[in-house]
């Protein structure tokens, strides 16, 4: 009798788990409206970069809803689940590796602190890439890369801390100025804001089917600072300058390889992603995280293209760098 009365007094499945239901709805709205989050202090960029990981809260909330036997919470969890799937579900339908592409490209931040540049060079040459872009080349390691990659890649150029090695002829090579004369609010940049060396280049790769304009870039770093928050000013300024350079590019086929220090979902790259599309998003399988090398949680090393089709996109095994190499196969 007492058990029956207790059972009748318990809230029904549509009344249980109201807190879980509210949390699920908030998560869904957060995912749906994340682009409206202010970028003051770099908050918006930080959210954009790690947005895929917020999907981990969906199974947690679903488990809680099932444990509480709450029909309301289960239904509420559908909102963030559907929004997350709409945002990122497409990344799991690509191709890990295609062998029939017209051109295979690899980009790798080889790391200034790399203790084994020769080993890194051997690993990259073994990838079989037609075009190989390296970022963060130090003056001490440059000779090693040039020596170890010479046999596989007869054509190469190094401009500052970035370089391109190719099995195909290169021409019209030039540096790309990533510095803008005016800062975000119209303030002239100080000398301290300028990068110490060139970190971007543009060259033409000559194929049997015509030229391909290839850009190699290493954008400024991002930092978490106590007063400034998620500081991205230098990187964002570089991204705008790079977008302007690519906008002025006359060659139909364009490939951008580099360490952009950010995800293509980051609003800071709207100027680039409005002109180029991500090989990983178009043809990759999974998120293709590349950093840090030991346990990648973000993709900040990118391959962006225009005028060509990405057939596949994948991440290569770790080398002596703190980044992993990224690769893509493209076709005309």
pLDDT tier, 3 (very low <50, low <70, confident <90, very high otherwise): low
What's residue 195's pLDDT? 42
pLDDT at residue 243 above 70?
yes
Q: Is the dihedral of CA 117, 202, 221, 327 positive or negative?
A: negative
Q: Summarize pLDDT for 213-235 with one digit per residue, the tens.
A: 999 999 998 887 666 567 888 89
pLDDT over threshold 50, residue 5: no
Q: At what angle do helices 18-32 and 57-68 cross, to 10 degrees?
A: 160
Q: Return the pLDDT at 191.
A: 38
Report which DSSP code applies to 9.
Answer: H
Please classify residue 116 by burial: count the beta carbons closer than 10 Å to its beta carbon, then call 0-12 exposed, 13-18 middle and 19+ buried: middle
Closest CA to 129 of 145, 147, 106, 107: 106
Q: At what angle do helices 71-88 and 18-32 cross, to 10 degrees?
A: 20
In the chain, the percentage of residues whose pLDDT exceeds 70 is 88
Distance separating alpha carbons of residues 255 and 276, to the nearest angstrom: 8
Q: pLDDT for 257-308, tens place per residue?
A: 999 999 999 999 999 999 999 999 999 989 999 999 999 999 999 999 999 9
| Complete DSSP assignment for 197-248 | S--EEEEEEEETTEEEEEEEEEPPP-EEETTTEEE-HHHHHHHHHHHHHHHT
Residue recorded with tokens 């090695």 = 165
CATH superfamily, domain 103-331, is Endonuclease/exonuclease/phosphatase (3.60.10.10)
Report pLDDT for 90: 79
**Vertex 126, ends 123 and 129: CA angle to 5°?**
110
Other CB atoms closer than 10 Å to residue 274's CB: what's the count?
Answer: 10
Per-residue pLDDT of 108-165, as tens digits, reads 999 999 999 999 999 999 999 999 999 999 999 999 999 999 999 999 999 999 999 9
Ranges in the chain annotated CATH 3.60.10.10: 103-331
This prediction has a pTM of 0.87
Q: What is the mean pLDDT of residues 33-37?
A: 93
3-class SS of residue 68: helix
Q: Which of 325, 326, 321, 330 is nearest to 116 (CA)?
A: 321
pLDDT, position 99: 72
pLDDT for residue 224: 72
């Amino acid at each position: 009798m007492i058990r029956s009365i207790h059972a009748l007094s318990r809230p029904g499945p549509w009344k249980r788990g109201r807190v879980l239901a509210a949390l699920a709805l908030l998560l869904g709205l957060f995912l749906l409206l994340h682009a409206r989050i202010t970028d003051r202090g770099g908050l918006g960029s930080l959210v954009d970069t790690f947005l895929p990981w917020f999907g981990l809260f969906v199974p947690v909330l679903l488990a809680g809803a099932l444990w509480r036997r709450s029909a309301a919470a289960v239904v509420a969890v559908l909102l963030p689940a559907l929004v997350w799937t709409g945002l990122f579900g497409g990344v799991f339908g690509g191709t890990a590796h295609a062998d029939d592409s017209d051109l295979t490209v690899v980009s790798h931040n080889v790391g200034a602190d790399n203790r084994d540049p020769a080993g890194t060079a051997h690993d990259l040459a073994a990838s079989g890439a037609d075009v190989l872009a390296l970022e963060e080349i130090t003056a001490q390691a440059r000779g090693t890369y040039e020596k170890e990659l010479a046999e596989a890649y007869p054509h190469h150029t190094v401009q500052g801390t970035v370089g391109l090695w190719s099995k195909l002829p290169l021409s019209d090579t030039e540096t790309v100025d990533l510095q803008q004369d005016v800062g975000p609010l119209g303030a002239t940049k100080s000398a301290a804001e300028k990068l110490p060396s060139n970190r971007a280049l543009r060259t033409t790769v000559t194929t049997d089917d015509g030229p391909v304009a290839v850009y190699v870039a290493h954008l400024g770093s991002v930092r978490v600072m106590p007063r400034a928050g998620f500081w991205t000013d230098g990187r964002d300024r570089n991204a705008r300058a790079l977008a302007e350079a690519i906008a002025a590019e006359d060659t139909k086929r364009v490939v951008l390889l580099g360490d952009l220090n950010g995800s293509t979902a980051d609003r800071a790259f709207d100027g680039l992603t409005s002109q180029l599309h991500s090989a990983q998003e178009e043809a990759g399988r999974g998120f293709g995280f590349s950093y840090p090398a030991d346990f990648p949680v973000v993709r900040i090393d990118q391959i962006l293209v225009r005028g060509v089709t990405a057939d596949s996109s994948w991440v290569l095994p770790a080398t002596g760098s703190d980044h992993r190499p990224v690769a893509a196969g493209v076709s005309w």
